[in-house]
Amino acid sequence: MGTTFRERGPLLMCVSVLILSACKYGVAEERTSDIHSSGKDGDRGFDLLPGDEVITTSPEMERLSTPVPEDDTTWSSHEFQIDQGNQSTTQRTFKSIDSASTTVVPSPIIHSHCEKLLKKLGETASHFTRCSILHARPLGLCSGCMYEYTDFGKVFDAITKEEDPTTGEKSCAEVLLASDMTQIVVKTHQFIQSLWEASTCEQCFDIGPEVNGTVSYSLSNNTLHFQEMANKTILCFAQHTNKTGGVSDVCTACKKPYDKLNDLYISLKDTAKLCVDIVDSMNSTRHTWSHRFMCLKREQDTVAVAAIAVGLCILPVFFYIGSKINVEKIEKKLLKQKRFRPLDSASVFQ
Amino acid sequence: MAARQDGGRTVLASDERTPLLHNRRCRQESIGIDNSIQFDPEEPDYDSVIYSPEGSPEKESPQEKVTEDTAKLLSAKYEGLDYDLVENSLFVKEAAANNKKLIRININRWVVMLMIGILTALVGVLIDIMVHQLAGLKYSLLKSWIDSCVEKGCLSIPFALWVAIDALFVCFAAILVAYGEPVAAGSGIPQIKCYLNGVKVPHVVRIKTLISKVLGVVFSVAGGLAVGKEGPMIHSGAVIAAGVSQGMSTSFKKDFKIFRYFRTDTEKRDFVSGGAAAGVSAAFGAPVGGVLFSLEEGASFWNQALTWRIFFCSVTTLFTLNIVLSIYFGRPGELAYPGLLNFGRFTGVSYFWYEIPLFLLMGVAGGLFGALFNFVNHKICIFRMKYVYKPFMQVVEAMMVAIVTATLAFVSIYISRDCKPLGQDESEKPLQFFCSDGEYSTMATMMFQTPEQSVKSLFHDPPNSYNIVTLSVFCVIYFILACWTYGLSVPSGLFIPSLLCGAGWGRLFGIGVSHLLPTIAWSEPGIYALMGAAAQLGGIVRMTISLTVILMEATGNVSYGLPLMLVLLIAKWVGDIFNEGLYDIHIRLMSVPILGWEPPATSTTISARQVMSHPVTTLQQVEKVGRIVEALKEPHSNHNGFPVVDVPDETDLVTSGRFRGLILRSHLLVLIKRKMFLERSQTGAIRKNLQMKDFREAYPRFPSIHEINISPEEMECSIDLRPYMNPAPYTVSEDASLHRVFRLFRALGLRHLVVVNKDNLVMGIVTRKDLARYRLVSLRSLDLEELQMSH
């Protein structure tokens, strides 16, 4: 949020808008105490917050704040720099407002509480995106990125549901989600949501009851069962190709698990929509089975089919010839029309 | 002076006797139909056969002539509708008394339209659900057989099963039509067009027809024929309208005693136009298209109030259908099911401006294919009318078509090796057939589902879903099947097969374009499929504005309006070079005296004298019952209106007395049945005079004159016709041109137009058949031909 404004602000916003928005947002920040006296309602609200520890919505949130390995260090340092920049900008902003100068274009401040949520959201979103790409092939988005998705969802929920501790202030949802045209947060959320929905991932899970506004996901029995069977089949494939390399061997040895898996899949498919993990795993197993091992047996019945087809197609020929020979033509008799013929009438006169 | 046109050669004739029209050569030349009217070369010219004013032929009797080409005839069994109100004294009296009732009648018009809308939607839903269930059953049974047999090598069993099921279903549909109600065959649009044009097509709006139509269409669609349920939906809407507005059913002998004031041809026809619009709306989710359809095909003039009511009716239908279908599909209130045929939502880029010339090219192709379709179907229908007219044979023929359809479908799936991996959003029952596990046969997606779903697949499947060979084979097969199927004795819509065939070649076109010029950005092949479908349909039915709007509404995208319009325009123009639209061809084959929008171009040179029927059977103001009965019983001329005249001058053989008014056959029948004789009222046997409602009570099936018993004494009685006749009907001078007569007739929806001379003496009478017999030989020429009448 803050970043958005910082990037766009200097270019687009005129001062009057700025003053307005500054008043609206209450322009309160702990470090800019001089505003407190000048802003009308600036003294409300944010002072009440207990400093930096703001996220208290659910215990799960604790897990979110645990540091993420690897490149996370660089990420947070980067974040820090931004924070520094943010502070300096804001300070400059209010100086300029004080001096009623029109040259410097600053950005509004968001409350640190919201800012924290925003940071968390960024982290979780990047985790999910990374995870989804790593699980793109072989497709395993649902089972592989379940936690990343729920984490992201929790933070997002926290933003939307965050009750403003003070009245009269804008809630985080308003500030973060609905204050500009680009709507980065909203669009990112939509993207992740659509990815998840396109994969019909919900179908893989048993969705637990809502606790503290969050839902718990766990792989459903069907999914587990299917995965087990699929693993068995793939294991069988691996064992039999490793030993001999002969294809026919695979076909006989693995026919049983493969058929079982196939039947299970078909029965699952009939009852409900399946999540993309299962569909894809089945597809690839099938592909291996029929294209790599050439195990698929297809029995043609060409002679019988051809015979019936030819027989049936000849029928109409006989029918039409027969009807032409046997049936009397319908013939319409013409009716005489009564017409006026002046000269004829005249001749009758005479 | 008359200009005689003879095969393009114009001869100035100096003789009055030379006919302006001659009906021999043009008739034999036109359209190239086998014509068996046996004109003897020795036979004298038609115009030299002299008729006496009484009408008895002096030379050979035309009754000996026979013909089998019904397209060149007008059948006497079709009568006109009495759209014009009979303003006799009873009517005036009733109107004066009913002044206050008028508001209630007006409100009831809306109520009836609402009921028509809702009921049409419900019938649409019924059809949809039944097709869905039956086809679902059939396809899942076949699928399980095929899936198991493809491993065991017993594919001939599901093949035979498929053929048997289809034959059985279609047999059922054909029996319903051939033995139940023959008028329920086909799409019903030609019949509704005739009705809205003002022709009473026997049985067309009966409840029995509706039942045959609805059940028949369900079974013919489920039986896999290349037919759709959209045309029959329009017919169903019309029947419902006719039934609801009358508040009774003559077939069931049930009178609800409501809406009695709507029991006239005028009101009924207005409601039927609403019902037809509701049918279109239900079929395509196109309420505006429905209104325009009714106006284009039916209304003679723009009736603002009626149009508004029709629109109300079709929107009601749309909404009801949407709600009920959403409940059926388990998503109540979602309103995502606007019509029976849903083109689905087109997303992404609409089209690029530089593609419009390509669309026009497709319009040309559509016109050509459409003309070919019509030509072949015309030939097939003539053959059918000649040789396959017995109900038994019609049923067998329908079964033959079903068998061949199923055979071709199965064989093409069997042969095709075009497999695509299963996607996430696949068709309902993808058939694997010889494909590997996890793949489906693309040929099967087109053949192994109802045609509506195939249309959707062709419109929306991603670019690489079909390979070229599959599409071409499908197109050719479907074109032949559709052409063969239309005109069978089963209810069969034409829209879906045309759309499907057109979508096939349209998609091919789109694929071809993007292959030839891969560097340019083209829109998806689905758009080309849509344009191809429009072009093919436009080339076959040649409808203009209503079809454009229907397709536009069915796609739900106004930006397709321009290309759709252009494509339909071009397709119509190109097709019109060769022949007429298929509906018009079928109307001709039915020998219906239909009046086009415009009089024939050269009609100004023909006068009312030549057009009219000449010696007119007239009645006097106070007429003997015996004479009336005789006039009514006259076997050859089933006249429905009789000019009422003063006592005629017996020596004048040209005119038949001074014109006083016009009385309808139906009124005479009621008068005689009620025995409203002067002698009885003088003795006080008749207490009160008849009222308008007594005439409406007998509507719409008036008794035949043969059903009324009249004693010889009663024959001697007389009836005063003055209170019952229309004292001021439209008349026309004998010097008026055909052009003028035609316009008057068409615009006012007349049934009779009396021709008088300058002294107001009756010269003749013009009816619909007298006008309809003048017709252009073809759409390309200005030559007129004159049609003959038959029974």
The whole-number pLDDT of residue A170 equals 67
Q: Does B24 touch chain A (CB under 8 A)?
A: no
Residue of A283, A315, A316 lying closest to B438 (CB–CB): A283
Contact list in B for residue A200 (CB cut-off 8 A) is 424
Contact list in A for residue B149 (CB cut-off 8 A) is 299, 301
Pairwise CB contact (< 8 Å): A340 & B614: yes
Q: How far is CA B170 from CA A295, B234, B398, in A?
A: 40, 21, 7
What is the distance between the terminal CA atoms of chain A, rounded to a whole angstrom?
Answer: 110
Q: What angle do CA A168, A173, A177 make, to 5 degrees?
A: 125
Q: Residue A45: pLDDT band by 50, 70, 90 thresholds?
A: very low
Query: Is the pLDDT confidence value at A212 over 50?
Result: yes
- Shared-domain flag, residues B563 and B704: no
- Shared-domain flag, residues B412 and B527: yes
Residue B471 is part of which domain span?
353-590
- Nearest residue to B497 (alpha-carbon basis) of B377, B375, B669, B352: B377
- Shared-domain flag, residues B578 and B614: no
Q: Name the residue ranges covered by the structural domains of chain A.
A: 112-199
The whole-number pLDDT of residue A330 equals 66
Distance (Å, whole) CA A300 – CA A311: 19
For B48, the closest chain A residue by CA position comes to A344
Q: Does B58 touch chain A (CB under 8 A)?
A: no
For A265, the closest chain B residue by CA position comes to B438
Distance (Å, whole) CA B600 – CA B784: 8
The whole-number pLDDT of residue B111 equals 93
Q: What is the mean pLDDT of chain A?
A: 67
The whole-number pLDDT of residue B687 equals 66
Pairwise CB contact (< 8 Å): A338 & B654: no
Pairwise CB contact (< 8 Å): B403 & A312: yes
The whole-number pLDDT of residue B67 equals 57
The whole-number pLDDT of residue B428 equals 60
Q: What are the DSSP E strand ranges found in B433-577?
A: 439-441
Q: Is B44 within a domain?
A: no
Distance (Å, whole) CA B776 – CA B781: 7
Q: Does B638 touch chain A (CB under 8 A)?
A: no
Q: Is B528 within a domain?
A: yes
Q: Does B323 touch chain A (CB under 8 A)?
A: no
Contact list in B for residue A309 (CB cut-off 8 A) is 159, 407, 410-411
Q: Residue A164: pLDDT band by 50, 70, 90 thresholds?
A: low
For A344, the closest chain B residue by CA position comes to B50
Q: Is B719 within a domain?
A: yes
Q: Which uninterrupted H or E stretch holds B643?
A: strand B641-645
Give chain B's domain count: 2
Residue of B68, B400, B654 lying closest to A319 (CB–CB): B400
- Shared-domain flag, residues B561 and B617: no
- Final residue of a structural domain among B526, B557, B590: B590
pLDDT per position as a tens digit, B219-239: 999 998 999 888 899 999 999
Helix orientation angle between B356-387 and A302-326, rounded to the nearest 10 degrees: 60
- Nearest residue to B176 (alpha-carbon basis) of B188, B165, B185: B185
Contact list in B for residue A319 (CB cut-off 8 A) is 396-397, 400
- Shared-domain flag, residues B660 and B552: no
3-state helix, strand, coil split of chain B in percent (to 5) is 55, 10, 35
Contact list in A for residue B55 (CB cut-off 8 A) is 336, 338
Q: Does B55 touch chain A (CB under 8 A)?
A: yes
Pairwise CB contact (< 8 Å): A342 & B16: yes
Distance (Å, whole) CA B136 – CA B427: 12
What CATH number does the domain containing B556 carry? 1.10.3080.10
Mutate to test the interface with B, among A334, A345, A349 (most CBs of B within 10 A): A334
Annotate A132-181 with DSSP letters as a single string.
HHHTTTTT-HHHHSHHHHHHHHHHHHHHHHPPPSSTTSPPHHHHHHSSSS
Distance (Å, whole) CA B545 – CA B556: 16
Q: Residue A70: pLDDT band by 50, 70, 90 thresholds?
A: very low
pLDDT per position as a tens digit, A241-297: 765 555 557 788 888 888 888 888 888 877 777 788 888 888 888 888 887 777 777
- Shared-domain flag, residues B399 and B541: yes
Segment among A58-72, A125-139, A234-248 with least mean pLDDT: A58-72
The whole-number pLDDT of residue A173 equals 77
Distance (Å, whole) CA B517 – CA B440: 30
Pairwise CB contact (< 8 Å): A312 & B614: no
Mutate to test the interface with B, among A266, A267, A312 (most CBs of B within 10 A): A312
- Shared-domain flag, residues B682 and B586: no
Radius of gyration of chain B (CA): 29
Q: Which uninterrupted H or E stretch holds B362?
A: helix B356-387
- Shared-domain flag, residues B561 and B649: no
Contact list in A for residue B411 (CB cut-off 8 A) is 305, 309
pLDDT-flagged residues of chain B (< 70): 1-69, 299-302, 348-349, 423-429, 636-637, 687
Q: How far is B269 from chain A (nearest CA, A)?
A: 29
Which residues, numbered 63 to 122 in chain B, qualify as contacts with chain A under a Cβ-Cβ cut-off of 8 Å?
Answer: 63, 65-68, 70, 73, 76
Exposed e or buried b for every residue in A140-152, given b needs 16+ CB within 10 A? bbbbbbbebbbbb
Q: How far is A257 from chain B (nearest CA, A)?
A: 15
Contact list in B for residue A299 (CB cut-off 8 A) is 149-155
- Final residue of a structural domain among B559, B590, B621: B590
- Final residue of a structural domain among B590, B625, B655: B590
Residue of B150, B387, B404 lying closest to A298 (CB–CB): B150
Residue of B53, B63, B609 lying closest to A336 (CB–CB): B63
Q: Does B789 touch chain A (CB under 8 A)?
A: yes
- Shared-domain flag, residues B565 and B616: no
The whole-number pLDDT of residue B485 equals 93
Residue of B62, B151, B152 lying closest to A334 (CB–CB): B62
Residue of B65, B155, B385 lying closest to A305 (CB–CB): B155
Pairwise CB contact (< 8 Å): B788 & A334: yes
- Nearest residue to B761 (alpha-carbon basis) of B671, B602, B645, B624: B645
Q: Is B391 within a domain?
A: yes
Q: Is B252 within a domain?
A: no
For A333, the closest chain B residue by CA position comes to B66
Beta carbon pairs, A and B, within 8 Å: 178
Sorted by sequence, the CB contacts under 8 Å of residue A155 that are 6+ apart come out as A64, A117, A120, A121, A124
Q: Is B774 within a domain?
A: yes
Contact list in B for residue A338 (CB cut-off 8 A) is 51, 55, 613-615, 637
Q: Which uninterrupted H or E stretch holds B200?
A: strand B199-200
Query: Is the pLDDT confidence value at A98 over 80?
Result: no
Pairwise CB contact (< 8 Å): B70 & A332: yes
Radius of gyration of chain A (CA): 37
- Shared-domain flag, residues B572 and B652: no
User: Are residues A28 and A145 in contact, defined by beta-carbon separation less than 8 angstroms?
Assistant: no
- Shared-domain flag, residues B584 and B614: no
Segment among A41-50, A122-131, B117-126, B471-480 with least mean pLDDT: A41-50
Q: Is B65 within a domain?
A: no
User: Are residues B698 and B669 in contact, defined by beta-carbon separation less than 8 angstroms?
Assistant: yes
Q: Is B166 within a domain?
A: no
The whole-number pLDDT of residue B5 equals 42
Contact list in B for residue A196 (CB cut-off 8 A) is none
- Shared-domain flag, residues B568 and B638: no
